[in-house]
Amino acid sequence: MRNKAVYAIILTLALSSCATLQRHQTESQPDILSGSWEMRQWMHSDDLESDFPRGVPVLEINSNRNEVSGFNGCNRLNGRFRFDRDASSLQFFALQTTKMFCLSVAENDFSRIMTLVDRYRVTDKELYLLQGDELLMVFQRKTINGGPQ
């Protein structure tokens, strides 16, 4: 009888710890991917200002709705994306842009390179877009009055 009581206590503790572990695993991770990001570096350029004379690309990311919008250096853009926080995977798709005439080839390259992204790393201040282990672009979080946007 005493063995049954010990087993019952052990079983109860094991089940309650599993429930606690499951509750922690399903809690939402902090959403630091969402926000406004301004390009600081990309694989084709040492001089962003000359490559993007109308302004550097900006991404507005909403990870709750899996939507991206922004500016590609000449035109407005919008589209969708898939991501997995645990695997750090990211894929942009259904990207559309307005069709203003642009002399900058960089704007076309930017849109093409966005479709190559398959991974990301993000910190409070920087977003790294990668293809495999190759760094494609780096964005810096835009801030308003010293706080994140």
| Domain CATH number, residue 109 | 2.40.128.270
- What does pTM read for this prediction? 0.74
Q: Is 131 left (phi over 0), alpha (psi -120 to 50) or beta?
A: beta
β-pair partners for 36 = 60
The number of domains in the chain is 1
Quote the pLDDT of residue 6: 44
Residue 1, judged by CB atoms within 10 A of its CB (0-12, 13-18, 19+), counts as exposed
Least confident range of 21-25, 41-45, 53-57: 21-25
User: Which ranges of the chain would DSSP assign to H, the alpha helix?
Assistant: 2-26, 48-51, 105-114
Q: What band does 105 get if pLDDT is binned at 50, 70 and 90? A: low
In tens, the pLDDT along 19-38 reads 433 333 334 445 689 999 99
**Residue 9 counted as domain residue:** no
| Residues in CB range of 5: below 8 A, 6 or more apart | none
Task: Dig out the tokens for 39 from the structure.
Answer: 């390009």
**Residue 4 counted as domain residue:** no
Highest mean pLDDT among 13-17, 128-132, 144-148: 128-132
**Residue 100 counted as domain residue:** yes
User: Are 127 and 92 contacting, i.e. CB atoms less than 8 angstroms apart?
Assistant: no
Range of the domain at 81: 35-141
**Residue 14 counted as domain residue:** no
**Residue 97 counted as domain residue:** yes
**Residue 60 counted as domain residue:** yes
Which of helix, strand or coil describes residue 24? Answer: helix
**Residue 148 counted as domain residue:** no
**Residue 22 counted as domain residue:** no
